Each structure stands twice: as C-alpha cells, then as structure tokens.
Amino acid sequence: MMITRKLFLLFLFAFITASGYCQLQTPRQLYPGLFEAIQLSDIFPDNKTFVDAVVRREPTDIIKDYNNQKDKAGFDLKKFVADNFIAPGSKTDIFKSDVSAGIRKHIDTLWKVLYRKHDTVSRYSSLIPLPNDFIVPGGRFREIYYWDSYFTMLGLQESHKADVIKNIINNFAYMIDKFGFIPNGNRTYYLTRSQPPFFAMMIDLLAKDDGEKTLVKYQPELLKEYAFWMRGSEKLKPGEDFRNSVRLDDGEILNRYWDESDLPREESYKKDVDAAKETTQKPGDFFRNIRAAAESGWDFSTRWMDTTGNLSTIQTTSIIPVDLNCLLYHLEVTIAQSYKLQGNISKQQFYLGKASTRKNAIQKYCWSDKESWFMDYNFKLKHTTTFHTLAGVYPLEFKLATDKQAVKVGDELKTKFLKPGGLVTTFQRSGQQWDSPNAWAPLQYMAIDGLNNYNQTGLAQSVAQSWIGTNMRVFESTGKLMEKYNVVDTDIKAGGGEYPLQDGFGWTNGVLLNLINKYHMDNL
C-alpha cells in the first residue's frame, strides 16, 4: 500500500528527531575556539549571522582543519569561514512591495513571504526541526519566536488562516512536550530561556474558532508551561528566589525573568563580551541579567536598569515584572477554566485560588498611588522601580485593575505616553530600542484592548488611529512594515538596539490588520 506524502513526512520527522541528524548542540559547542574567533572578528557585523549559518561539511572535520591551520602564516579566517559555511539570507530583503495595491494586499502577500516549511532543516543547523510549518517575523529573525507569534496570529485570524494558527500552536505544544517549555525561538542557542508566556492567549484565540474544547485539548501543555515558570517555588522561604520564582517577605510568590546560562549570548557574543567590560558586576551575573532581559522580549530598556539607565547596571533578575505576572495570572485562570470544562471543580478552585493570590500580590507590589501607574517591583531593594513603562497596561488587558485605577492609567496614557505616532514605550531616551522614542505593535494592542475592557473606547480609538496612521505613512513612503516605529519624531526612522531596523514584520502585520478591521481605518 502506498504511503501518503503527509504520512511519510511524519515518519521522516520522527526519524530525524530520534537520530543524531537533529543534534541539539549550539554553535559554540560545535565549534570551540572557532566560534569565539569568528564572533569576535568583523567577518559578520551581526553575530546572529554565523550562528544561523549552514555548514558545508562535518563540524569535527572543520574544527580539525581549523586547529591545524589557524597558527600558520597567511591563514585567512574569512576565507576559511566562506569555504565551510553558507551565510543565511533574508527573503524580506528581496521582496518588493506594490504600494499601489494597498496595505491589505501587502500583508496578504507577506504571509507567504514569511511562511517557512518545517521539513527543510539542514544537518547541524542551529534551527530546531518542528512538526508543522510556521511564520517567522522577518529580516534577521529567520525562526519562529514565542511571544511574537501571538500578535502575528491576530492578523492570521483576520486573514482566515486558522490552519496556520493551529500549526504554530501545535509547534509550541510540541516544544513544551519535548523541552518542558517554549524556547525564545526554535534555535539551539535559545534553549536556556523562554519568552513572555502567551501560550494560553493563543489557546484563547484558537478557541474563538474551535470552541472551548480547545482548552481541554491543550491542558497538558498549559500545565507543563505553568510548571516551568513555577519550578522550585514550593520550597522557597520568604525572601528567597529560585530560577523564575520569588517568594516575597509576606509569603506571596511572584515571578521574574531568568536564563539558565550565565555566558554571553551566542547570537550577540561580541556585544555581550564588550558590554561586560563596562560593568562592576561579576561577568556571570551580568550575562544572566542580559539574558533574562532577552527572555522578557524587552532587549533592552532602562526598565531593567538602575536610576542612571546605563546598560552596565542591568538588574533584570532582581525585578518582578508586572506584565509577566499578569500573563501568569491569565495562565492560572485558563487552567482553572479547562478543569471546569472537565467537571473537576476541586482543581478549578485550586487554580482560581492561585490566580486570586497572584492578583492581590500584583495590586500590593506593583500598583503605585503616587505614580498612578502599575510599576515593576525590585524585590532586592523592596520598592517599585523608577521608570514608567508601557508594561503598566497589562493589568487592564487582564482586568486586574480597579475601575479607579483604570481611569488613572488612562489619564497617564493620554497625557504622557500618547505621542503623535502612538504610545511611546518609556519616557527615557537611552539609545536602547525599548525606550523612547520607539513604539512597538504588541504594546499598542495590549493598551488598546485594555482600555476597551474598561470602556475607555474614545482613548482606545485615538491610540489606534495614531498607530495605524504611523504604519500607513511609513508603508506609503517605503513599501514596508517595520519592526518598530519612532512615534515622537514621526519623520525619523526608529533606531537603537543591537541591530539595524528590520522590516517584514510578523507582529506589526498582525496587529495592524486586526486594528484596521476593528476600526475600519484603511485609508488614514
């Protein structure tokens, strides 16, 4: 009997995963010595280029030849790299848009440009094979990303691409089952950290099409993700922390960002090594703080720094982020709902109790009457952090704020955060990309949706109009949708950060299409 192509590919994927073909060593582990030499050189301006490269032959042979040749006269490292590796390209670099066809046509075409087949992983690639096709953000981001994908899905749902949404969710469920968590992205060098836990939000999105049974179907993975974030928390005494969990002095457990590694990031190796020279922290502590900020998705922002706002003072692992804990509150509520659908009332009440305790703790430690804003909390210093950030809108998105608090948050958004092009991320101009004057699609969406939850519909629409207008102006002048935007000086491109401005761009496309449809603003 003939085997269908789909069945064959499933067998092939299972074989590849079980065999040595899909090894999970990182580039640094595969190419000791050579990796450091390449990343500290100027062969590739972007360190991510080499770690995403495709190898031409066996790594053991490459390392043997490198060690034999490196100290000889006339050795050319750049030529050696070119002879042994194929540098990755970007499909969005070669994609040319037809502005006259309109924004909807552009986004619809981009879904195809950003689409990746799951069964095309090269041997010894840092790319982790997945069982289903997926969407990448674009530009230098050639793999699936965790929290990006939720906001991309908002547009995929508007485009009636339910199958693509299911494929992405099933990829994440696969990684939870395989690794115990969803990595930052499907690269071996991301296997030490996750990203903001939006998996439950993705399940909610799918449930709009497939019904509440979706929560029960993915309950095992929801529980595993929760276990990842709460590892070791039950053994903590007041004032202690372990991995992603912190038990505060009064006994409450809240969460922080954390990375299992205390080495320089492989994809930003030189920048991390150079930055460590400017800090008074121990190198391992500094690198873990840098990595924890990468897990947050806000890499980088004065949000994670002391009052000077200098990267050398980064202290991510000392900070309890308000947005992370709102997401985990939602995860607890979602798990409770999945048990309710099964008729398991005792388990439902158990997780509702967890959620209620977390909600009270968020109110206690993160709300500031003085600032009229939800702030992050530095549990080492035992006070809220200094800087206002747009993460403060998350309690509105998850309905954790009181009505009075929501009014105050709305006033702050209107008078301080709202700029000509949308909501600015922070008030600090630090040169970091998650600070002023930059703005990002996911935060605009969370703010708009949160305001609507508290019937502040006029302000929500004003934010949406400003953001859509910014996207449309840049599209009409460049034919592109960008990763981030300058919303203060709207005639200037966004900047800052570790790499040039990227276009594509998955979550920008998703949020823009969602808002255009919601507010019928095609022609701003």
* Catalytic residue list: 299, 483
User: For residues 248 and 238, is the Cβ–Cβ distance under 8 A?
Assistant: yes
CA dist., res. 246 & res. 332, Å (int): 17
Query: Contact at 8 Å (CB) between 175 and 182?
Result: yes
Q: Centre a 10 Å sphere on the Cβ of residue 299 and count the other Cβ atoms it contains.
A: 20
CA-closest candidate to residue 268, choices 1, 57, 40: 40
Cα-Cα-Cα-Cα torsion 216, 220, 223, 227, nearest 10 degrees, comes to 180
300 cis-preceded (ω within 30 degrees of 0) = yes
Task: State yes or no: cis peptide before 437, omega within 30 of 0.
Answer: yes
Cβ-based burial of 63 (10 A; exposed 0-12, middle 13-18, buried ≥19)? middle
> What string of H, E and C letters represents the secondary structure of 128-144?
CCCCCCEECCECCECCC
Output the DSSP codes for 255-268. E----S--S--GGG
Q: Kindly state the tokens that stand for 103.
A: 């924004």
φ and ψ of 76, to 5 deg: -115, 100
Residue 148 is inside which H or E element, if any? helix 146-158
Q: Which two tokens stand for residue 303?
A: 């949000």
Upper half-sphere CA count for residue 382 (Cβ side, 13 Å): 6
What contacts 392, CB < 8 A, 6 or more positions away? 322, 373, 374, 375, 409, 412
